[in-house]
């Protein structure tokens, strides 16, 4: 490219110079030719007028008596010019001339001479057999034209002078062409060189290399262009770096967004699909990008509507038949002129919101149900006592015992709800200290001793020797054991076995509460940690359960950084376990 530009510039300079020199040379040649001919013509006219004046004066003095009788008389050869004399009679006759050859004067020239004007002509003369410069000057006697003087001079000398001048012009033009070629060569190189370098650096910039600079060798427009180019390279490098940072930032945002982002162009081709969108739609992001949006995907009709109407749309769909709920919000992508070139949609997984909403409904329903049963019982007994149906003291005492039992149940339900609410809100502040698990076993068993004896249950303890204490709140951990042991006692048959085990491993202390009760069906195991969930609704309620004990256990253990788990088989009992962090040892003591 640079070489072509250099050649074109040099050729352009040479063409302009040659055309200019040719025009100047032709103009000067024409000028000098006319100048020499005009000068010679003026010289002949001056001579002719001088000779004509002298002859006219002599003829007036002699009264025309000595006018020769022959037609044409040669009066001499004056300074490289032939001079002829022509009388009026021959002047007025067309075609007259020398006896052997006609004169060059035509009728118009003769008329001009008879009117006292001079005539000049440059043409080939047959008399001299060469190109001649001829002038005719009228001869006047007593104010009347009586003849004419004709001067002839060859143009060969004039042409020689003109040729010398033309050779000089040619030599000067040749030297000018050489000097101009050298100057054009340097000038073309000074222009094409930086442009060639800019072209090379432009290719480097296209490859991402913005470090190279164009040398500034002049202060003219080309030098200014080189400076501007270098400034452009620096600015582009900064801009590209900023764009790369923004692109990286946007890619990180899109990749780590929990919401799915899906964008299509006007033709429905996928331009962008982040991992969250691919997960929600169950597709491969790399495979779907650059392809037509499959019409079977749930958001496809939504995007079609947005592209057709140019209006933002919102829709909710379930891509996996109700297990997942997705809220899709799509909006058009517009250029500055308002032209829609695509659409972008945000896919938000609202399954958690739907589950929370369902849990809220279930919670309200369960609380209402749990409160309604004891309140209905209490209300019924109070109305019976008001109506006098409990006239007997024994009957009234039995009514009061039932009402007291239901009141205690209501009070326990309210306390459990308050505890669970605080745990879920994370608003509890516990004092963390060292807790000895064997001591907790003893205290909890002492509280349940009467129930254990009444149901003839056997409790076995298996504590690992040297079991380290755990870090936690002693009251809350005791509450966990009370809830788990209370469930084990409540659902164990008379004469059954309950095991309490504790062991340490990998910095964790695992506590297990196992019973020999009816067990839990596999379908119920994932839900037993939920609020108000009961495996056997009627039996659980009849045994005084609120349905919140296991939910409280789960929140307390997880608040301590531990985990809960359950293993159970119908007819073979259940085994609940939880883990807590063992206290570290420093300088031989637990801290």
Q: Is residue 213 part of a domain?
A: no
Q: Is residue 53 part of a domain?
A: yes
Q: Cβ atoms within 10 A of the Cβ of 230, count? A: 17
Q: Is residue 78 part of a domain?
A: yes
Domain CATH code at residue 323: 3.30.450.20
Closest-CA residue to 460 (of 499, 486, 495, 496) = 499
Pair 460, 548 in one domain:
yes
Residue 213 contacts residue 233 (beta carbons within 8 Å)? yes
Q: For position 579, what pLDDT does the model report?
A: 92
Pair 398, 346 in one domain:
no
Residue 496 contacts residue 458 (beta carbons within 8 Å)? yes
Strand partners, 502: 463, 511
Q: Which residue has the higher pLDDT, 423 or 27?
A: 27
Pair 381, 512 in one domain:
no
Structurally, the chain folds into a number of domains equal to: 4
Domain CATH code at residue 366: 1.10.287.130
Task: Give the residue from 350, 371, 388 where a domain finishes.
Answer: 350
Pair 338, 308 in one domain:
yes
Closest-CA residue to 475 (of 409, 511, 509, 431) = 431
What sign for the dihedral angle of Cα 357, 362, 365, 367?
negative
Residue carrying the six token digits 């919000």: 329
Q: Is residue 201 part of a domain?
A: no
Pair 440, 543 in one domain:
yes
Q: For position 102, what pLDDT does the model report?
A: 47
Q: Cβ atoms within 10 A of the Cβ of 455, count? A: 16
Pair 346, 370 in one domain:
no
pLDDT digits (tens, 9 = 90+) for 491-540: 888 888 999 999 998 889 999 999 988 888 887 888 788 766 666 554 44
Q: For position 93, what pLDDT does the model report?
A: 62
Q: From CA 307, how far away is CA 330, in angstroms rounded?
A: 10
Pair 16, 143 in one domain:
yes
Q: Is residue 232 part of a domain?
A: no
Work out the average pLDDT over 103-124: 76
Q: For position 514, what pLDDT does the model report?
A: 92
Pair 471, 505 in one domain:
yes
Q: Which two tokens stand for residue 30?
A: 């024409």
Computed over every residue of the chain, the mean pLDDT equals 77
Q: Is residue 386 part of a domain?
A: yes
Pair 335, 360 in one domain:
no
Q: Which residue has the higher pLDDT, 123 or 267?
A: 267
Q: From CA 46, how far away is CA 50, in angstroms rounded?
A: 6
Q: Is residue 475 part of a domain?
A: yes
Structural domain containing residue 154 = 6-161
Task: Give the residue from 325, 350, 375 where a domain finishes.
Answer: 350
Pair 334, 272 in one domain:
yes
pLDDT digits (tens, 9 = 90+) for 11-42: 777 787 778 778 877 777 777 777 777 777 78
Q: What phi, psi does 536 have (nearest 5°)? A: -120, 100
Work out the average pLDDT over 87-94: 64
Pair 21, 154 in one domain:
yes
pLDDT digits (tens, 9 = 90+) for 148-184: 777 777 776 677 777 777 778 788 778 877 887 787 7
Q: From CA 306, how far away is CA 405, in angstroms rounded?
A: 63
Q: For position 402, what pLDDT does the model report?
A: 76
Q: Is residue 183 part of a domain?
A: no
Task: Give the residue from 303, 322, 350 where a domain finishes.
Answer: 350
Lowest mean pLDDT among 141-155, 230-244, 343-357: 141-155
Domain CATH code at residue 576: 3.30.565.10
Pair 494, 523 in one domain:
yes
Q: For position 47, what pLDDT does the model report?
A: 77
């Amino acid at each position: 490219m640079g070489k072509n530009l250099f050649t074109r510039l040099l050729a352009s300079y040479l063409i302009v110079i040659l055309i200019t020199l040719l025009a100047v040379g032709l103009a000067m040649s024409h000028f000098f030719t006319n100048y020499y001919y005009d000068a010679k013509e003026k010289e002949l006219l001056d001579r002719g007028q001088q000779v004509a004046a002298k002859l006219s004066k002599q003829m007036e003095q002699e009264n025309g008596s000595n006018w020769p009788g022959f037609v044409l008389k040669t009066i001499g050869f004056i300074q490289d010019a032939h001079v002829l004399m022509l009388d009026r009679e021959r002047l007025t006759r067309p075609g007259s001339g020398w006896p052997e050859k006609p004169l060059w004067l035509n009728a118009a020239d003769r008329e001009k001479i008879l009117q006292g004007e001079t005539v000049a002509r440059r043409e080939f003369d047959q008399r001299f057999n060469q190109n001649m410069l001829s002038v005719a000057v009228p001869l006047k006697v007593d104010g009347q034209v009586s003849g004419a003087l004709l001067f002839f001079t060859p143009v060969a000398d004039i042409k020689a002078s003109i040729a010398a001048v033309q050779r000089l012009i040619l030599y000067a033009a040749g030297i000018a062409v050489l000097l101009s070629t050298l100057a054009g060569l340097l000038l073309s190189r000074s222009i094409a060189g930086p442009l060639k370098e800019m072209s090379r650096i432009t290719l480097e910039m296209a490859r991402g290399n913005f470090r190279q600079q164009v040398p500034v060798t002049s202060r003219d427009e080309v030098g200014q262009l080189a400076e501007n180019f270098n400034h452009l390279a620096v600015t582009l490098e900064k801009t590209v770096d900023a764009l790369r940072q923004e692109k990286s930032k946007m890619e990180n945002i899109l990749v780590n967004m929990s919401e799915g982002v899906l964008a299509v162009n006007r033709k429905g081709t996928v331009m962008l699909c982040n991992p969250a969108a691919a997960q929600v739609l169950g597709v491969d992001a790399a495979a779907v990008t650059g392809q037509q949006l499959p019409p079977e995907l749930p958001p496809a009709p939504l995007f079609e509507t947005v592209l057709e109407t140019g209006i933002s749309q919102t829709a909710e769909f379930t891509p996996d038949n109700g297990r997942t709920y997705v809220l899709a919000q799509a909006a058009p992508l517009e250029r500055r002129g308002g032209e829609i070139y695509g659409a972008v949609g945000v896919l938000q997984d609202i399954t958690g919101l739907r589950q929370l909403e369902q849990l809220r409904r279930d919670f309200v329903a369960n609380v209402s149900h749990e409160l309604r049963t004891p309140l209905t019982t209490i209300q019924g007994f109070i109305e019976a006592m008001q109506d006098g149906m409990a006239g007997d003291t024994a009957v009234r005492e039995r009514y009061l015992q039932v009402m007291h039992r239901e009141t205690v149940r209501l009070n326990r339900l309210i306390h459990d709800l308050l505890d669970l609410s605080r745990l879920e809100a994370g608003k509890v502040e516990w004092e963390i200290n060292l807790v000895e698990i064997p001591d907790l076993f003893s205290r909890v068993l002492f509280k349940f001793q009467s129930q254990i004896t009444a149901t003839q249950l056997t409790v076995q303890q298996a504590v690992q020797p040297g079991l380290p204490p755990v870090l936690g709140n002693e009251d809350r951990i005791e509450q966990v054991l009370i809830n788990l042991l209370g469930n084990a006692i409540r659902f164990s048959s008379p004469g059954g076995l309950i095991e309490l085990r504790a062991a340490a491993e990998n910095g964790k202390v695992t506590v297990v509460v196992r019973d020999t009760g009816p067990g839990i069906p596999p379908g119920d195991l994932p839900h037993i940690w939920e609020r108000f969930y009961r495996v056997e609704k009627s039996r659980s309620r009849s045994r005084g359960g609120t349905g919140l004990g296991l939910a409280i256990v789960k929140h307390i253990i997880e608040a301590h950084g531990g985990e809960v788990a359950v293993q159970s088989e119908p007819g073979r009992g259940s085994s609940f376990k939880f883990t807590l962090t063992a206290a570290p040892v420093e300088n031989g003591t637990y801290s």
